[in-house]
Amino acid sequence: MAEKALFRDYLARLTAVAAQGDAREESFYAPLADLVSGWAGATKVEGVHVTTLPKATEAGNPDFRVWDGQQHIVGYIEAKAPTVENLEPVAESEQLRRYRGTFPNLILTNFFEFRLYRHGALVATARLARPFVATKLGARPPLEQADELQTLLQQFFAFSLPRAYTAEELAVALAVRTRFLRDQVVAQELAEEEKAARGHLLGFYEAFRTHLIAGLTLDGFADLYAQTLTYGLFAARVRAGAEFNRRTAFACIPHTIGILRDLFQFVSLGDLPPQLEWVVDDLAEVLAVADVKGILHQFFHEGKGADPIVHFYETFLAQYDPAERERRGVYYTPEPVVSYIVRSLHQILQQKFGKADGLASQGVTLLDPAAGTMTFVAKAAQVAVDEFVSKYGEGSRASFIKDHILQNYYAFELMMAPYAVGHLKMGFFLDELGYRLGPDERFKLYLTNTLEMEELAESQLPGFASLAEESHKAGEVKRDVPILVVLGNPPYSGHSANKGPWIRGLIEDYKQVDGKPLGERNPKWLQDDYVKFLRFAEWKIARPAWASSA
């Protein structure tokens, strides 16, 4: 049997490596990689590539990725030195529990014993030989469980990701990989780049910390980056055809959303660090086999509400990091509350402001300054479209959306992941309303700190000019665009990080009544973020149309 001859040759090579006397775990990698690829060839499993993965720390990556060299990932192999004769304690270590919880098809081995885990559960074992015979006696050990190893490898190579993910199953699959990406890949890569004082991820981090989110930590950026990458891939998958992978994702990101394009130019087309490349490929394959469009349309049409993007985002966050989700208050405002607020504004415009068509009236401009995932703006757009169609018919629906919604509705968001979700949501939502965004169109959702007026200079951001461009477009809206309606649900934070001189100056107005000091006993509550957003809204609505920069 050719496979048994392959196994004997493998044991001979292991024995020769052990005989060198100074062999480390990595010294045995080549024989194992050749065994796996050789077995695949002998059993007619085509297109198998075995890649040794970099290992920055003990908590980092599995040692091998087995894949087809293009997209499909068979599974991963984690190897321990042959001197580790008992794999049972290793299987219960923190590292292996993390691997077992992240990678659904994983082999743990000491090069002589093999343990196959499927979705974290042990499903097969095989002891090819006794390691001490090679490592201590210096002899090639006899084959023991060759048939069992044959069966184990057959099971390993038979693995494929499900093609009928439910929304919850897809959320779990993405969440475990994104969590691993955050903690074990991006965080470690940032730490290495910080030591070297250079690197692509470090450049993104410095740009965000300096020009967008004051006080952003490396861990905070790792979280921001990992979530944005996953949801950017999700957004690309919604727009993609049958073929989807990491490299095709870039073409599916609208070129009008420059920041996501910058990120995915690096992710899809750049020279990714290998430890980042393999986990992004893994995320992309999960999305490639899932019917993402079907899941979203099912949400939309089968009782999940009119907000499938946000519903899925909430499902993802609940799996990804429920404690952080609760700590940040990342819960979308309930749809009945949003509906009540938006419909009330619509009626106020009609009854108090003489705008017969309410939110659909010509000249009505609208801004959500803390848009999150665009719940309020989407509802406002739906109310406006419904009002227009009920009065003027279906014939001009598309032109109304193009000339009114896309021209007069604006939104700001500070966090990158909700920003990506928001753009995805509006594209999907407008599609449901009967309008598909063209290649040169985008909704006017801008990544910016609403409570800062200073714009970024392109010269300050080498390689990340799109952040400066986004800041400039948002600045034009803040300074120059007359806004009639400001709506939304701003964040609540008693310990506000928004302490810039512009917004603090506006808040000083709240500390006086009729020109006299207010004399409040606990002035910190006037520094809460929601107070600052209310002050911004007052300033923006009262700002005359002819005013120049502040």
Question: Over 407-468, what HEC string results?
Answer: HHEEEEECCHHHHHHHHHHHHHHHHHCCCCCCCCCCCEEEECCCCCCCCCCHHHCCCCHHHH
Considering the chain, what is the average pLDDT of its residues? 84
Its sign, for the CA torsion 160, 163, 167, 171, is positive
Query: What's the average model confidence in pLDDT over 200-211?
Result: 82
pLDDT value, residue 519: 61
Closest-CA residue to 258 (of 83, 68, 465, 28): 465
How far, in Å, CA of 332 to CA of 335, rounded?
8
pLDDT value, residue 4: 87
Per-residue pLDDT reduced to its tens digit, 474-514: 989 998 999 999 999 887 654 455 566 666 666 666 655 66
Domains of the chain (ranges; CATH) run 2-157 (3.90.1570), 167-328 (no CATH), 335-542 (no CATH)
For the beta carbon of residue 129, count every other beta carbon within 10 angstroms.
Answer: 24
Q: Which residue would you say has higher pLDDT here, 415 or 512? A: 415
pLDDT value, residue 464: 62
Report helix angle 187-196 to 274-289, nearest 10.
Answer: 150
Q: Does pLDDT of 188 surpass 60?
A: yes
How far, in Å, CA of 118 to CA of 120, rounded?
5
Tokens of 489: 């649900």
Q: Does pLDDT of 550 surpass 60?
A: no
Per-residue pLDDT reduced to its tens digit, 398-410: 999 999 999 999 9
Amino acid 221 reads F
For the entire predicted model, the pTM comes to 0.77
Its sign, for the CA torsion 342, 343, 348, 354, is positive
Q: Does pLDDT of 434 surpass 70?
A: yes
Q: Which residue would you say has higher pLDDT here, 343 or 235? A: 343
DSSP code string of 21-65: S---GGGGHHHHHHHHHHHHHHTT--S-EEEEPP-SSTTS--SEE
pLDDT value, residue 399: 96
What number of residues does the chain have?
550
Query: What's the average model confidence in pLDDT over 341-355?
Result: 97
Bridge partners (DSSP) of residue 121 are 118
**pLDDT band for position 347 (50/70/90)?**
very high
Per-residue pLDDT reduced to its tens digit, 357-398: 999 999 999 999 999 889 899 999 999 999 999 999 999 999
Task: Tell me, letter by letter, the H, E, C secondary structure of 283-308.
Answer: HHHHHHHCCHHHHHHHHHHCCCCCCH
Tokens of 402: 């193009």
- As to burial, measured by CB atoms within 10 angstroms (0-12 exposed, 13-18 middle, 19+ buried), residue 199 is middle
Q: What percent of the chain has pLDDT over 70?
A: 85
